[in-house]
A and B are shown apart, each in its own frame.
Chain A
Amino acid sequence: MYRASVGLTTNMKASATGWVARNAADLGADGIWIGEDISLGQDPFVLAAATLLQSRGIRVGTGIIPIAVHNITTLARAAVTLQEIGEGRFVFGAGIGGIQDLQRRDIKIRRPVTALKEGVDVLRRLWQAENVTRNAEILHLQDYSLRLRKPVEIPVFLGVRGPQMLKLAGRIADGVILSGPFDYLRYAIEVIDKSSTETGRKRDEVEKVVWLPTIPTFKGMKEKLAKRVVAIVVADMPPPILDMLQLNREKLERIQAQVAANGPKAAAPLIDQEIMDMFAISGNREHMVDLFDELGEMGATEVVLGPPFSGEWREAMSEIFEEIALRRGV
C-alpha cells in the first residue's frame, strides 16, 4: 500500500501550514511535503523548520527547492540544520526549477541535467563531511566544508519531468517527486524503474511520490474553482507530455489558447470529467481514493493531498485520510 502525505506550498498562510503540521499525524498522514513558490509567501526553510517542530513522528520534505535559486552552501547548511531539527525526519527534495521562474531571475542553465547531477553530488559530499572544491555551471566552491564531526544522512528526492531528468533520478535519487497526467506518470515510473535497474539498483529502491492537484468537491470547494486549477495545469503542460496522452489534442490546445488569451476562468467551461481525471485528483472521497489506488497500482509509493485548499478543506482532508485508512484495513 502506498504512503499518503499532505502537500503544502510556501504561498499558504502560517495558520494553515501550522494546522496541517500539528494535525497531520493524527489525521493518519505519513508525511508533509513543502513546495517552494519562488519568492511567494513563506520561506521554504523556515517553514520546513516550523513544520518539523510542530509535527510529530512523520517525514517532512521540501518538494521541491529549485537548486539554482539558492547558493549551494545555503542548501547544504539548511538541509543539515533541518535534519538535526527533525532528528532524522527531513527529506531534501530538489529540482532545477521552472524555466520561466529561472528566467525571471536572470538564471540561465545551459545543461540542466548536468547541473542537477553536480548539485546533488556536491551536497552529498558536503553532508559526508568532505572538503569540496568544484567549479560547475551553478556552483563554485574552493576548499569548502561544513565542518561536520560525522556524516549526516539526508535522503535526496528529485522533482523531475523530462526523459533525461527521469533517467538521472533513477540513477542517483533516493526518491522522485512526480506530477502530471496519469498517462505521463505511467511512462515516468517506467523510465525511472528501467534507469535504476540498469544502474544495478533494485526496482523499488527509488521512491515515487506523486503530487497532483487534489480537489475535493464534496466539502465546499466549488467545481468551477477545480476546473480553473486544472485549466492552469493543462496550460503549463509541455507539448511532449501532451503527445503522450490518450486525449483529444485539439481540445487540450483550445484550453491552452483560452488560458493564454483570457485566463483560467474563461477556460474552465472547457474542462470535462475526462480531463479532470487525467490532470487532478478530484471528486468525492471515494472517487479520489480510487484514483490514489490507481496511482498505487501504477507504481507510486506515495501520494500527496493538496493544495489547492478551499472550502472546508480541513474536514475534506480528514475524510480522505479516513477513507485511505479504511481501505488499508486500519
Chain B
Amino acid sequence: MNWGLAVNVYDTVHRIVEKCVIADQGGIDWLWVTDFPAVRHAPSLAAIVAENVKRSRIGVGLVSPLLYRPEQIVQFMSTLIDNYGERFDLLIGPGDRPQLSRIGIEYGNISMLVTRLVSDVTKIRDELGQRGYDGVRVWLGAQGPKMIAASIKADGVLLNYTDPKMLKWALSILGEIPKGFQIGAFPPALITENPDCSKEYGLRKSAATVAMGLGQSVVSEFGLMDTLSAARISLKQKRSIDQDVVDAIDEATLKRFALCTTPEGACNYIKILEGIGLDMVTFGPPQGTSRKLVKNLVKTRVHWDDTV
C-alpha cells in the first residue's frame, strides 16, 4: 500500500516545503500538491518541493482542465520533468464547482463534463507520451459513478471517499481493472493520539465539502437524501461551505466522509482498504496543514512498517 499526503491549502511556500521534507524523510510515498482553490500555484510549488525532497513522488493536483487548457498542463508537467527528472504524477478533476464559479469558470453543460474531462485526460496522456514523458501517471479524481467508470481511461483513479462501503461500491463500478491501473482513496484525515473529532472544524468542513459534492445518484445510493437536505439548502443560500452548512450535517454522516482516528486506528483502516484492493491512500486536509499532523502521519507510517 502506498501512502500519500495532500499539501498546499493556505500555507506559505516555506511551510509547505518544511512539511514535504518531514513527509519525505518519514517514508511517505506521494506528496500531492493541490492547486486551486489552494492559494499557491501547484506547478511552481512542485518545482521547489522537487528541489527539496529526495524520495517521494510528487503529484501535481488536483488540477482542473476548466482552469488550464490541456496544452498548458502538458507544458508544466514536461517542464517539471525537464528540470527535475521523472518524479511527477498528475491528478485531474473538474474542481470545486462553487469555488470555480467565483473566479468566472462554470462547469457548463453538466452532462458533457465527464466526456470533456476524459477527452482532456486522453489528450494530456497522448501528448506527454508523444513527447517521451512516459513516466507520468495521470490520475483522475472521481466521485460520481460516470466519472468513476470513465477513469479507466486514465492511469489511476483517486476516489473521493473515506467509508470502505462507499469505496467498495466505487470499485464495483470500475469493473475489470486493466493491468497497471492504480486505485487510491483520498479521505479528509486527522490522525492524532487523542482525536476529538466533533471539535475539529477543519476536518468537519473537509468532510462536508466532500458530502456536498455528491451527485444525486450517489446520495440516493447511500440513503443520504434526508440527512443532507438541510445542508444542501443552506449551501444553496450561502454559495460556500461555512459553519452553518457543516453544522447542518449530523456527526454520524460526517464521520462517513472523513478519517478521524489514532495511528493504530489508521493502520487498521489502511488494512481494510488494502483488503478491498486499493493501492494508495492519500491523506487529505487537515492532515497536511501542520507540521505536528505531518509528524503524526510519519509516526503512523513507522507503526505500519513495524507491524505489517
Q: Assuming the A-B contacts A74-B67, A144-B102, are A84 and B14 also in contact, with contact meaning beta carbons closer than 8 angstroms in the complex?
A: yes
Contacts of A144 in B (CB 8 A): 102-103
Cβ of A53 under 8 Å from chain B? yes
Smallest CB–CB gap between A270 and chain B, Å?
Answer: 36
Pick from A18, A41, A48, A77: contact of B40, CB under 8 Å: A77
| B44 lies within 8 A of A85 (CB) | yes
Q: Assuming the A-B contacts A43-B72, A46-B43, A53-B47, are A74 and B36 also in contact, with contact meaning beta carbons closer than 8 angstroms in the complex?
A: yes
Q: Assuming the A-B contacts A39-B71, A46-B79, are A73 and B36 also in contact, with contact meaning beta carbons closer than 8 angstroms in the complex?
A: yes
Within 8 A of A (CB), among B50-80: 51, 67-68, 71-72, 75-76, 78-80
Smallest CB–CB gap between A220 and chain B, Å?
Answer: 25
Per the bound structure, the CA–CA distance linking A43 and B12 in Å amounts to 22
Smallest CB–CB gap between A127 and chain B, Å?
Answer: 11
Cβ of A237 under 8 Å from chain B? no
Pick from A43, A47, A71, A82: contact of B104, CB under 8 Å: A71
Contacts of A47 in B (CB 8 A): 79, 83
| B103 lies within 8 A of A46 (CB) | no
Q: Assuming the A-B contacts A43-B76, A73-B103, are A81 and B51 also in contact, with contact meaning beta carbons closer than 8 angstroms in the complex?
A: no
Per the bound structure, the CA–CA distance linking A262 and B43 in Å amounts to 40
Cβ of A215 under 8 Å from chain B? no
Contacts of A164 in B (CB 8 A): none
Within 8 A of A (CB), among B11-53: 12-14, 36, 38-41, 43-48, 51
| A74 lies within 8 A of B68 (CB) | yes
Contacts of A46 in B (CB 8 A): 43-44, 46-47, 76, 79-80, 83
Within 8 A of B (CB), among A140-159: 140-144, 146-148
Cβ of A139 under 8 Å from chain B? yes
Using CB atoms, name the residue of chain A closest to B76.
A43
Contacts of B82 in A (CB 8 A): 13-14, 42
Smallest CB–CB gap between B203 and chain A, Å?
Answer: 19
Per the bound structure, the CA–CA distance linking A166 and B126 in Å amounts to 43
Cβ of A232 under 8 Å from chain B? no
| B102 lies within 8 A of A74 (CB) | no
| A43 lies within 8 A of B75 (CB) | yes
Using CB atoms, name the residue of chain B closest to A105.
B69
Smallest CB–CB gap between A224 and chain B, Å?
Answer: 30
Smallest CB–CB gap between B145 and chain A, Å?
Answer: 30
Pick from A14, A18, A49, A71: contact of B44, CB under 8 Å: A49
Smallest CB–CB gap between A119 and chain B, Å?
Answer: 13
Contacts of B38 in A (CB 8 A): 77
Cβ of B172 under 8 Å from chain A? no
Contacts of B47 in A (CB 8 A): 46, 49-50, 53, 85
Cβ of B229 under 8 Å from chain A? no
| B36 lies within 8 A of A139 (CB) | no
Per the bound structure, the CA–CA distance linking A148 and B38 in Å amounts to 11
Cβ of B243 under 8 Å from chain A? no
Cβ of A78 under 8 Å from chain B? yes
| B102 lies within 8 A of A45 (CB) | no
Smallest CB–CB gap between A16 and chain B, Å?
Answer: 11
Cβ of B233 under 8 Å from chain A? no
Against B, the Cβ 8 Å flags (1 = close, 0 = not) of A298-327 are: 000000000000000000000000000000
Contacts of A14 in B (CB 8 A): 79, 82-83
Contacts of B75 in A (CB 8 A): 39, 41-43
Pick from B44, B71, B80, B104: contact of A81, CB under 8 Å: B44
Per the bound structure, the CA–CA distance linking A78 and B42 in Å amounts to 8
Against B, the Cβ 8 Å flags (1 = close, 0 = not) of A1-43 are: 0000000000001100010000000000000000000010111
Using CB atoms, name the residue of chain A closest to B66.
A71
Smallest CB–CB gap between A55 and chain B, Å?
Answer: 12
Contacts of B201 in A (CB 8 A): none
Cβ of B101 under 8 Å from chain A? yes
Cβ of A80 under 8 Å from chain B? yes
Using CB atoms, name the residue of chain B closest to A142.
B102
| A81 lies within 8 A of B41 (CB) | yes
Per the bound structure, the CA–CA distance linking A233 and B181 in Å amounts to 50
Contacts of B36 in A (CB 8 A): 73-74, 77
Using CB atoms, name the residue of chain B closest to A83.
B13
Per the bound structure, the CA–CA distance linking A236 and B236 in Å amounts to 51
| B76 lies within 8 A of A45 (CB) | yes
Pick from B12, B14, B48, B101: contact of A49, CB under 8 Å: B48
Contacts of B44 in A (CB 8 A): 45-46, 48-49, 78, 81-82, 85
Contacts of A141 in B (CB 8 A): 102-104
Using CB atoms, name the residue of chain A closest to B102.
A142
- 10 smallest beta-carbon distances between A and B, as pairs: A140-B104, A84-B13, A14-B82, A43-B76, A49-B47, A78-B41, A46-B79, A49-B44, A42-B79, A43-B79
Can you name 5 A-B residue pairings with CB atoms under 8 Å? Answer: A41-B75, A46-B44, A49-B48, A80-B39, A85-B13
Query: Which residues of A are at the interface with B, using a C-beta cutoff of 8 A?
Result: 13-14, 18, 39, 41-43, 45-50, 53, 71-74, 77-78, 80-82, 84-85, 139-144, 146-148
